[in-house]
Amino acid sequence: MAVLNKWRKISIQDFSARFSNPLLREAFPLIWLPEFPMLSLLMTFAWLHTESAGYPFYNFDPTFAEAGKTVLKVMLPSDYNYWQSLREDPERYRAEKEKISDKVVSLLDKRFPGMSAQVEMRDVATPVTFHRYTGNLQGNFEGWMITPETWNMRMNKTLSGLDNFYMIGQWVEPGGGLPPAAYSGRNLIQILCKKDKKPFVTTIP
């Protein structure tokens, strides 16, 4: 736990500044988001080391891809404002998505020769797409950015003046994604049990 705590307190950006080698100084913040804690980068390195990191393939469920085919997802950090202003010119917006898609496929083809010839369809989603589908601020997809400051942040789940109103989900449980959204609901039930002086009991289905 002490080791985890040590590496979650420094951002990738701040850690990179310690390198005297200019290549490492520049490269580290490009691997993950520079604001993320170093811990997330170390976890990635550990996965790479044990050869368990990679691109997610979605053929484990027949509703994602028909037999013999798969869906491959590649995610790149991007700037909401850039895409938002581009969106005002639909032709340029579409062309930029196409350009990036071509680049990603050609890079993957270098790593997996022949792959590009097997690509049957592509779909590019930008932060503007995420915003359109989720309504989340600036196309955020996992709530608050995880930084050394927000990693362990506790947020109020009530609003003053509104009795019996509680919030759960990614915006009140920093950490990002589905697991925190789920345990946010669990945490709230625990809080309500305490308030009602009832025992908080969990079971495994």
Binding positions for ligand FAD, rule: CB under 6 A:
130, 134, 141-143, 169-170, 177-179, 181
- Toward ligand FAD, which CB reaches closer, 86 or 172? 172
Give the nearer residue to ligand FAD in terms of CB position, either 162 or 178.
Answer: 178
Q: In whole angstroms, what is the distance from residue 24 CA to residue 8 CA?
A: 20
Pick the closer one to ligand FAD by CB: 79 or 89. 79
Contacts of 109 by beta carbon, 8 Å cutoff, 6+ apart: 115, 116
C-alpha neighbours within 13 Å on the C-beta side of residue 172: 16
Helix (H, G, I), strand (E, B) or coil at 7: helix
The nearest distance, CB 44 to ligand FAD, in angstroms, is 15
Nearest distance from C-beta of residue 147 to ligand FAD, angstroms: 17
b or e along 103-138 (b: 16 or more beta carbons within 10 Å of the residue's beta carbon)? eeeeebeeeeeeeeeeeeeeeeebbbebbeeeeeee
* Residue with token string 């759960």: 168
- Look up tokens 């309500």; give the residue: 192
Q: CB-wise, 147 or 170, nearer to ligand FAD?
A: 170
CB of 60 to ligand FAD, least distance (A): 14
The residue among 143 and 148 lying less far from ligand FAD, judged by its C-beta, is 143
N- to C-terminal Cα distance for the chain?
29
> At its nearest, how many Å lie between ligand FAD and the CB of residue 110?
26
- Burial (Cβ within 10 Å: 0-12, 13-18, ≥19) of residue 23: exposed
Nearest approach in angstroms of CB 178 to ligand FAD is: 4
Task: Give strand pairing partners of 57.
Answer: 72
Task: Give the shortest CB-156-to-ligand FAD separation in angstroms.
Answer: 16
For helices 22-31 and 38-49, angle between their N-to-C axes, nearest 10 degrees: 90
